[in-house]
Structure 1
Amino acid sequence: MVDLKLIHEVQLGILANGYFVEENRLDPQFEYDFAKVMADGTRILEHGREETKARNGIFIDVFPFDRMPNKRNLQQSQQQQLTAILNEIRKRFYPEQYRGQVIDSKYSRLTLTDLYNSRFNLMTKYNGHPELTLANMSSPYAYGKEIIKPHELNQVITVPFENLQVPILKDYDAYLTRLYGDYMKLPPLEKRVQRHVLKVKVDNHQASAQAQPENNFEQAAG
């Protein structure tokens, strides 16, 4: 017997135990090319996304890693196209941020769905080449900085995290060092400030996973 309720929840990105997934294939109002696992019954206000219509709860990011071309001209082309597509998408959601800027984009005539599809196809264009380095193309860092080398991908170990056993890269030190340098050294005290999340609201986390957070932050915070 087909569980229609379960199918509907999967389509909405709802997970068990009060969590749900937000990404653009589930919600076109979510503009990014990665996913977020969010806590139901929570709301946040993010800098630069104050006007978002997507669900926006306390989250962890889930970044995809895709194959990166090894020729510099192909890397530059991919980077430039991904940036142009993201700018076009964000311009449609947050027009005030782009007011007065001249953006001559070949993507301006595409629908939002076409933009999402074009971006996905561009990100996965080289995935048929297992010898290529994997890169997080959704990374907030520079293109090609957050990478996993091919030989590292299949070498994993299991470590405890809370009450879970989680597989991670065996050579996690190399990955973290490439990304952060001396990642075990704390930054200066004056730099230990987060500027990403402006407000947080916890209404009733661990409530029914079917409950849908309101899109209006002020209403949720009231």
Structure 2
Amino acid sequence: MKKMTIEEIRKIQLDMLSYIDSIARENNIEYSLGGGSLLGSIRHKGFIPWDDDIDIMLYRSDYNKLIEELKKSQDDRYSLLHYSTEKNLLSFAKLYDNSTQFISKTDKMHPWTGLFIDIFPMDRLPENEHERLSFMKSVQNNAENLLSTSFPAYASGSKAIYAFARLFLRFPRFVVYHGKWTERAEILDQLMQKYDNQDVPYIGFTDSRYRAKEFFPKEIFEEYEDIMFEDVKARKIQDHDRYLKQLYGDSYMELPPENKRENHSYYTWYWKD
């Protein structure tokens, strides 16, 4: 196998972003760059220099529409990782490139997949902080149950020490849930949508690693605009400032210290033979 360069990795990801963007525009689906990708588009006009992935986020109804359109796709370059199409142990979807693959000593999830874009559903969240955090904790507990249905996937992490710890800590769940990934995926997906038909003021990705910071006024997901991400025209929420301040603080335009610069160095990417 031939190891990919960072330029090749980013070219594949930008091609995937362009592909998703074209499907979204053709089908009147609104989406936004999310997390570090939205931050990168504002602060760096593209990738954060030390990062190497792309995230998008969609209101749940648009997320469901995009998933259905990607399932219809006839483009052999890409595949959709979603529990309705193949074994997905995550609470969100990925579009991945079929000409690439990864090797990782610590991530044992979805080893057949290639370079990806993360696709996050944004669901309604209650106003009361205790109720909101309790709900998100329940979602994250069910996400753990889903991941614990499969070995060695449940013993994964960004660092070897995390993977080793999870080998033992998640084993009791594995005993209970092993082999039940379809059932657990459906339960989790429905739970995440608990408040979507209720008149609640916030929205967020309910299984977010940002946890308590992940709640945004729902009105900021009502207006969108174009933005350039490297050389690709993409979409973003208009009021990115409120979103980014919520996640990263008022000084989000300043570069973090080097020891706070996260990436996916636990992956090594290769071209398939």
* TM-score under structure 2 length normalisation: 0.59
In structure 2, the residue matched to 1:42 is 100
Q: Supply the distance in 2 between the matched residues of 1:141 and 1:113 (Cα, whole angstroms).
A: 26
Shift of 1:126: 0.5
Q: Supply the distance in 2 between the matched residues of 1:80 and 1:108 (Cα, whole angstroms).
A: 20
The answer to whether the aligner puts 1:156 opposite 2:224 as a matched pair is: yes
Counterparts in 2 of 1:100 and 1:109: CA distance versus 1, 3 Å: closer
Q: Supply the distance in 1 between the matched residues of 2:89 and 2:262 (Cα, whole angstroms).
A: 26
The answer to whether the aligner puts 1:138 opposite 2:190 as a matched pair is: no
Counterparts in 2 of 1:27 and 1:59: CA distance versus 1, 3 Å: same
* Runs of 4+ deviating beyond 6 Å: 102-105
Structure 1 residue identity aligned to 2:103: L
What are the Cα deviations for residues 136-177 of structure 1, in whole angstroms up to 9, with x where unaligned? 1232222x4233312211122222345554331111111112
In structure 1, the residue matched to 2:193 is 124
Aligned partner of 1:33 among 79, 91, 107 = 91
The answer to whether the aligner puts 1:22 opposite 2:60 as a matched pair is: no
Structure 1 residue identity aligned to 2:192: M
Q: Supply the distance in 1 between the matched residues of 2:115 and 2:79 (Cα, whole angstroms).
A: 11
Q: Which residues of structure 1 form unaligned runs of 5+?
A: 1-8, 204-219
Q: Which residues of structure 2 form unaligned runs of 5+?
A: 1-68, 156-165
Aligned partner of 2:215 among 131, 147, 163 = 147
* TM-score under structure 1 length normalisation: 0.71
Shift of 1:186: 1.5
Which structure carries more helix by proportion?
A: 2
Q: Supply the distance in 2 between the matched residues of 1:127 and 1:68 (Cα, whole angstroms).
A: 8
Structure with larger Rg: 1
In structure 1, the residue matched to 2:169 is 101
Shift of 1:53: 4.4
In structure 2, the residue matched to 1:84 is 141
